[in-house]
Amino acid sequence: MTPNSKTETPAFARITTRREFGLAVLIALITIFVSFFDPRFLDAINLRDIIVRCAPTAIVACGMMLVIVTAEIDISVGSLMALTAAAMGIMLSENEWNLSLWIGLPATLMLGTAVGLLTGLLVTVGKVPSIIVTLGLLTALRGFTTLIMGGKNIDGLPPSLQHAAKQGFWGIPLSVWVAACVLVMTLVIIAWTPLGRRIFAFGSSRYAATMCGLSEKPLKLFVFAYTGFLTALATIVDVPRLPTIESGIGLEFELLVVTCVVVGGVSINGGRGTLLGVLLAVVLMTMIRPVLTYLEIGEEAEKWTKAIQGTLIAIAVIGDSLFRRRGRGESRS
Amino acid sequence: MTRSTRFMLLLLISLISLGCRTESGTNVGDRDKLTVCLLPKIKGIPYFTSCHTGAQEAAAELGDIELIYDGPIDGDPKEQAELIEQWIVDGVDVICIAPNAPLVVANAMKEARTAGIHVITWDADGVPESRSFFVNQATPESIGRGMVDVMIADVGPDQEGDVVIISSDATSANQNSWIDAMKPAIEESKLTLQTIKYPGENAANALADAQDLIKVYPNLKGIFGISSVSFPGAAEAVRQASKSGEIKVTGLAVPSEMKSYVDDGTVNSVVLWNTKDLGYLTVQVAKALAEGRLTDSDTSLNAGRLGEIQIEGDNVLLGDVMVFNKDNIDSF
Amino acid sequence: MNQPRAVARFNYWHELVLFGLLIGLLALAEYLSPGFLSLRGQLYLSRHLWVFAIMALSMTLIIIAGGIDLSVGSAMGLCAVAFGVTFEMTGQLHVAIIACLLTGVLGGLFNGALIARFNLHPLIVTLATYAAFRGMAEGISQGESYSQFGDRFSELSRATLLGIPLPGYLFFVLAVLVGLFLWRTPTGRSIYAIGHSAEAARFSGISVNRIRIRLYTFSGFLAGLATVIYVSRFDTAKADAGRGFELDVITAVVVGGTSIFGGRGTIVGTVLGLLLIHETRQFVGRYWQVDELKSIVVGVLLIVSVLIYQLLVTQRETRSH
């Protein structure tokens, strides 16, 4: 929002920053610490489980990162996940409409993209700030989902979809393959397309970008639609892994994704951030729960889980800011 | 600035004068009918939806009842209190509440009684002076004990081993009261309670926690999933780890939700009561109370298709906790 | 010459729109659901409002200054636990109340210090404390609830004077004070300046950091105050107090016309926003008796109210150019 003066290399061109290094060290330290207590933490099956849990967050974080780079935000992804899950369940379940996968899955993706587009339109054409649009959608979509599900859970998703989400191919669930593809796709968009460069250009200085003749609307429409699409995609590959579709799916997911993106070093003022940082942050945030289980901290300490998560977030962002101030004496507005 | 000052004042004054219409509120709904409000802990989960079905059945059978079913979609007890207060203003006849946190709603319930509304509790009891009757299907004690008994029977009475509990949030009042009853019961048995996890009402976290617990405790014999999210989550984790039968899972759930896990042997027994009967009986009690057919000294009540129902003190007894297994789950 | 200038200088379009919406809503509600506007009922149900309303005051200031505080709901949880723990240890209500307020102040000060001293974005800091405060509350209290503070304390939130609940008076006094502060004092005006451009404010000699720290501390203090009312109303001090309140409070402030980017907003607008949301929820609850609809309607109301304002502003700008 405020024009940042930067003389450093453009963010997208750099491979690593101090933030990524710090996150990687933090992850390594925690891993060493836990495996010292319980070497089984490094078992293949546990690593696989953690990666599988990272997948949906990583998928949506790719879109969220672009949104935040344009100095916008989307806090409706958790509710959108619930809505797309309900829609997918109603369309595909053998107890409901029992449509074919070839109709149901594209329709789910289209629904997610459509809601993302709607957000984008309200932000660009309606000039309503994105935090307001998505705050409204956060409550509205959740209420709507509960309403259409009518107090029942939906199960009976097609076995092929469940199999893909649980066992997957060559021992790796579908969500991980999809997450890898999304990461590569997003990386390509950021690094090698004019679209990506424009997104970062706008985020770092809206004024300069406008003066250079760039148009803002299509960019923002794209990032919101992309996030909506990715949310639907994450729903398709991850929700069939869960026992049943209920209206509480994706509760507080938006906070998790935003936290990951922010902890990953994407500036909330736009224009700065790397995909690697976001990915590392996703791993860090996802590994907290299993780490606490493996440490066998006991039932009283379990109640401190949220406090530990909050402290870790604070350490990640504050520690980085301390380093930066000392390192470069850089001042931000 | 004077212009804006005047404008602001005008706004405020007209707003205040607008609100001033002194007269008591008229009632919502049809006056010839009895308005009965059924307030669940959480609206939108299968358990309470199935209670609602039973309540509708009773309302249809009794004829002159207008049944309102509403409650918080996130299970917030504060919102339960707000709904009661709303209903006091609307002037309904009977409020049947399943309190999520008895103390939080106690004041609102007392005020409803002062306003001449009949207040009964169902599913979970409230503070005694805040209601006239409790439609009692199970006490926290019997639920907690019941789950542990089922687990001991499933694992084998002489079997030693570890068990874990997957609850809801650390602050969930109901779950905590069950845990209080479960702990001594587990202590008396040969099982060892290793830890309690709090994944919240988040299905992905519940599944993840169960998966991790299975890996961490090799001697794990059983998992208690004591919320509507953590029970299926735990069962799914055991099934995905191909440990069905080795690790027993039990908990509270609507039987139909757990059917596929019971069929493949992951879950031997589901602890619950007949939820439809619970809703049905609640509306029957509400009607009897409003018509004065039910008084403090009664020891039984004729409750439609349920026949004669026992009353102990101010507890209307639905019957004991039921255990559903492979043999009888299809009939519910 | 006078006329267009007056139009251009008229800064209260949003308040006017809100007021119109509120009147329209009340009329519609009374028409569709007779008895909705009864004074007794309205005053009785106003108790749903005060806890939010008090926190909305400081949130208005913070958002005008270009910040945000996502941690107020969690801070309430921490304050409630502080209240409960102190009461259990000392058995004295006033000590518990002081501990509750102090916890709020310290929590707010912590937020403010991180934001101002380390130059961190408020969204990030309060996102971290959102999890940390709630987690600390759960850890300290082990999820248990504290109660039995006595009937006199419980009366505090229920008693009425001239038909108006006591917390209502507290809110109106606070609202007038905060409103006057924002409107009449140099510090109050400088909050707008900070919201417009913190950089420019700094160069014009406003001590931006000190004001920011004080704003967040004030927010923590009001969270503590709201907690006292909350605990008194529900007879329970527990770590889950105020869950989800941050979003409800922000919604009310934004519906009230405060710009989420800072620099614009009034206390009158916030009061109108609070009333509009309160009456909407009440009407939807009374007319349809479907809880899900409340969230849908409030969500749509939030978007539409800002959309209407934006359309008005854009139209005005195109006309004046």
Interface contact C118-A321, CB threshold 8 A = yes
The rounded distance, in Å, linking the Cα atoms of B153 and B135 is: 29
Which pLDDT belongs to residue B94?
A: 95
Does any CB of chain B come closer than 8 Å to the CB of residue C140?
no
Considering just the CA atoms, what is the radius of gyration of chain C in Å? 20
Q: What are phi and psi of A142, to 5 degrees?
A: -65, -45
User: What would the two tokens of residue C117 be?
Assistant: 């001293």
Number of domains comprising chain C: 1
Across A237-242, average pLDDT: 94
Does any CB of chain B come closer than 8 Å to the CB of residue C233?
yes
Interface contact B85-C243, CB threshold 8 A = no
Mean pLDDT of chain A: 87
Q: Is the pLDDT of residue B5 over 70?
A: no
The domain ranges of chain B are: 34-138+274-319, 140-272
Structural domain range at position A265: 56-295
Q: Is the pLDDT of residue C11 over 90?
A: no
Mean pLDDT of chain B: 86
| Residue of A60, A299, A300 for testing the chain B interface, max B β-carbons within 10 Å | A299
Q: The domain at B34-138+274-319 falls in which architecture? A: 3-Layer(aba) Sandwich (3.40)
Which pLDDT belongs to residue B116?
A: 93
Q: Is the pLDDT of residue C244 over 50?
A: yes
3-class SS letters over C90-157? HCCHHHHHHHHHHHHHHHHHHHHHHHHHCCCCHHHHHHHHHHHHHHHHHHHHCCCCEECCCHHHHHHH
Which pLDDT belongs to residue B332?
A: 65
* Contact by Cβ (8 Å): C194, C212: yes
* Contact by Cβ (8 Å): A209, A200: no
The rounded distance, in Å, linking the Cα atoms of B94 and B119 is: 6
The rounded distance, in Å, linking the Cα atoms of A88 and A81 is: 10
Residue C118 placed within a domain: yes
Q: C146 versus B273: which is more confidently predicted?
A: C146
Which pLDDT belongs to residue A323?
A: 64
Interface contact C131-A126, CB threshold 8 A = no
Interface residues from chain A to B (CB-CB < 8 Å): 38, 40, 43, 45-46, 49, 53, 56, 142-143, 146, 149-153, 155, 166, 238, 241-244, 246-249, 251-252, 289-290, 293-294, 296-299, 302-303, 305
Which pLDDT belongs to residue C14?
A: 77
Nearest Cα of chain A lies from the Cα of B279 at a distance, in angstroms, of 15
* Contact by Cβ (8 Å): C193, C201: yes
Point out the least confidently predicted range of A270-274, B20-24, B129-133, C51-55: B20-24
Nearest Cα of chain C lies from the Cα of B1 at a distance, in angstroms, of 10
Q: Is the pLDDT of residue B29 over 60?
A: no
pLDDT digits over B133-182, tens only? 999 888 888 889 989 999 999 888 888 899 999 998 888 888 999 999 99
Q: Is the pLDDT of residue C300 over 90?
A: yes
Q: B82 versus C2: which is more confidently predicted?
A: B82
Size of interface B-C (CB pairs under 8 A): 119
* CATH number of the structural domain B140-272: 3.40.50.2300
Q: Is the pLDDT of residue A153 over 70?
A: yes
Residues of B in contact with A293 (CB under 8 A): 195, 197, 209, 212-213, 216
pLDDT digits over B231-285, tens only? 999 999 999 999 988 999 999 888 888 888 998 889 988 888 888 999 999 999 9
3-class SS letters over chain B? CHHHHHHHHHHHHHHHHHHCCCCCCCCCCCCCCEEEEEECCCCCCHHHHHHHHHHHHHHHHHCCEEEEECCCCCCCHHHHHHHHHHHHHHCCCEEEECCCCHHHHHHHHHHHHHCCCEEEEECCCCCHHHCCEEEECCCHHHHHHHHHHHHHHHHCCCCCEEEEEECCCCCCHHHHHHHHHHHHHHHHCCEEEEEEECCCCCHHHHHHHHHHHHHHCCCEEEEEECCCCHHHHHHHHHHHCCCECCEEEEEECCHHHHHHHHHCCCCCCEEECCHHHHHHHHHHHHHHHHCCCCCCCCCEEECHHHCEEEEECCEEECCCCEEECCCCHHHC
Residue C10 placed within a domain: no
Residue A38 placed within a domain: no
Interface contact B26-C6, CB threshold 8 A = no
| Residue of B100, B103, B127 for testing the chain C interface, max C β-carbons within 10 Å | B103
Question: Measured between CB atoms, which of A126, A140, A262 is closest to C124?
Answer: A262
Point out the least confidently predicted range of A98-112, B151-165, C213-227: B151-165
Number of domains comprising chain A: 1
Residue C192 placed within a domain: yes
* Torsion B264-B268-B270-B274 (CA) sign: positive
Q: Is the pLDDT of residue B305 over 60?
A: yes
The rounded distance, in Å, linking the Cα atoms of C217 and A68 is: 28
Q: Which of C258, C244, C245, C263 is nearest to C306 (CA)?
A: C258
| C171-200 residues touching B, CB cutoff 8 A | none
Across A242-271, average pLDDT: 89
The rounded distance, in Å, linking the Cα atoms of A10 and A272 is: 8
Does any CB of chain C come closer than 8 Å to the CB of residue B290?
no
Interface contact B169-C19, CB threshold 8 A = no
Identify the DSSP state of A40: G
Residue C282 placed within a domain: no
Residue C198 placed within a domain: yes
CA angle C193, A319, C133 (to 5 degrees): 75
Q: Is the pLDDT of residue C312 over 80?
A: no
| Residue of A154, A251, A286 for testing the chain B interface, max B β-carbons within 10 Å | A251
* pLDDT level of residue C6 (50, 70, 90 thresholds): very low
* pLDDT level of residue B21 (50, 70, 90 thresholds): very low
Structural domain range at position C78: 37-241
Across B296-319, average pLDDT: 86
* pLDDT level of residue B320 (50, 70, 90 thresholds): confident
Residue A202 placed within a domain: yes
* Contact by Cβ (8 Å): B210, B166: yes
Which pLDDT belongs to residue C162?
A: 84
**Are both B34-138+274-319 and B140-272 of the same fold?**
yes
The rounded distance, in Å, linking the Cα atoms of B116 and B91 is: 9
* pLDDT level of residue B12 (50, 70, 90 thresholds): low
Across B291-318, average pLDDT: 86
Point out the least confidently predicted range of A120-134, A233-247, B264-278, C221-235: B264-278
* pLDDT level of residue A5 (50, 70, 90 thresholds): very low
pLDDT digits over B97-112, tens only? 999 888 899 999 999 9
Which pLDDT belongs to residue C191?
A: 94
Question: Measured between CB atoms, which of A140, A259, A310 is closest to C295?
Answer: A140
* pLDDT level of residue B298 (50, 70, 90 thresholds): confident
Interface contact A243-B235, CB threshold 8 A = yes
The rounded distance, in Å, linking the Cα atoms of B89 and C46 is: 12
State the amino acid at position B46 in one-letter form.
Answer: P
Question: Measured between CB atoms, which of A135, A262, A311 is closest to C127?
Answer: A262
Q: Is the pLDDT of residue B68 over 90?
A: yes
Interface contact C124-A317, CB threshold 8 A = yes
Residue C74 placed within a domain: yes
| Residue of B52, B68, B86 for testing the chain C interface, max C β-carbons within 10 Å | B86
Shortest CA distance from B231: residue in chain A: A243
